């Protein structure tokens, strides 16, 4: 009987061990499947993060390149504008200063202007140096003085001269600043085309 008990104990033990081994194998297989699933999910997430990071890096690179290109274009345009302004200022300022300082040339300009203007109505020219201008008119354009061109002396005038109809309905000022602005506006587009 002891033998039978031993056999029965061994049999129960053996069946328990076998069931335990089967259960352990099943748990191990389930754990391995679960581990494979977790690793696959982690790999998918890692791939997604890497793809997202690469897209962000590409977008950042593209945006940086675009901004640098835009900035470079703006810098070049600003430099071109500065060069054009500097050259225009130098050329126009020197030329206008030479024009104004040459009294004969300047007075000849006023005579030509008066000829065109006084063809339709008598005009008044106001200037701070009326005596010099009158002498020039007497020598070179006395007929204009006889036709009604009047030259007035005005102290403290800010412009080189003003011209207006005899009735005084309006007045146009001609000063160094007006000449500078006129010739800058005229010369700048041509200078920009020539340079760039």
pLDDT 10s digits, 106-131: 888 888 888 877 777 778 888 887 88
Query: Does residue 115 contact residue 140 with C-beta atoms inside 8 Å?
Result: no
The predicted pLDDT at position 83 comes to 86
Select from 3.30.2320.30, 1.10.645.10, 3.40.50.300, 3.40.250.10 the CATH code of 102-195.
3.30.2320.30
Q: What's the DSSP call for residue 107?
A: H
pLDDT, tens only, 54-70: 999 999 999 999 999 99
pLDDT of residue 1: 65
The residue-averaged pLDDT of 37-66 equals 92
The pLDDT confidence band at residue 4, using thresholds 50, 70 and 90, is confident
The dihedral of CA 155, 158, 163, 165: what is its sign?
negative
Quote the mean pLDDT of the chain: 83
Q: Report how far residue 62's alpha carbon sits from residue 68's, in angstroms, rounded to the nearest whole number.
A: 10
Q: What are phi and psi of 170, to 5 degrees?
A: -160, 170
Pair 125, 133: CB distance under 8 Å = yes
- Taking the C-alpha atoms of residue 58 and residue 7, their distance in angstroms, rounded to an integer, is 74
């Amino acid at each position: 009987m002891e033998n039978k008990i031993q056999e029965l104990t061994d049999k129960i033990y053996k069946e328990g061990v076998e069931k335990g081994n089967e259960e352990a194998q099943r748990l191990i297989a389930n754990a391995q499947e679960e581990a494979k699933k977790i690793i696959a999910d982690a790999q998918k997430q890692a791939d997604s993060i890497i793809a997202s990071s690469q897209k962000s890096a590409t977008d950042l690179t593209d945006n940086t390149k675009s901004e640098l290109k835009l900035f470079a274009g703006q810098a070049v345009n600003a430099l071109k504008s500065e060069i054009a302004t500097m050259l225009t200022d130098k050329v126009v300022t020197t030329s206008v200063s030479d024009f104004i300082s040459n009294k004969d040339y300047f007075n000849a300009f006023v005579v030509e202007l008066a000829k065109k203007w006084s063809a339709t109505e008598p005009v008044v020219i106001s200037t701070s140096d009326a005596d010099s201008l009158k002498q020039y008119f007497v020598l070179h354009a006395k007929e204009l003085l006889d036709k009604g061109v009047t030259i007035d002396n005005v102290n403290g005038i800010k412009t080189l001269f003003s011209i207006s109809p005899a009735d005084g309905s309006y007045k146009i000022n001609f000063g160094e600043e007006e000449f500078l602005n006129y010739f800058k506006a005229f010369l700048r587009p041509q200078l920009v085309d020539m340079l760039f």
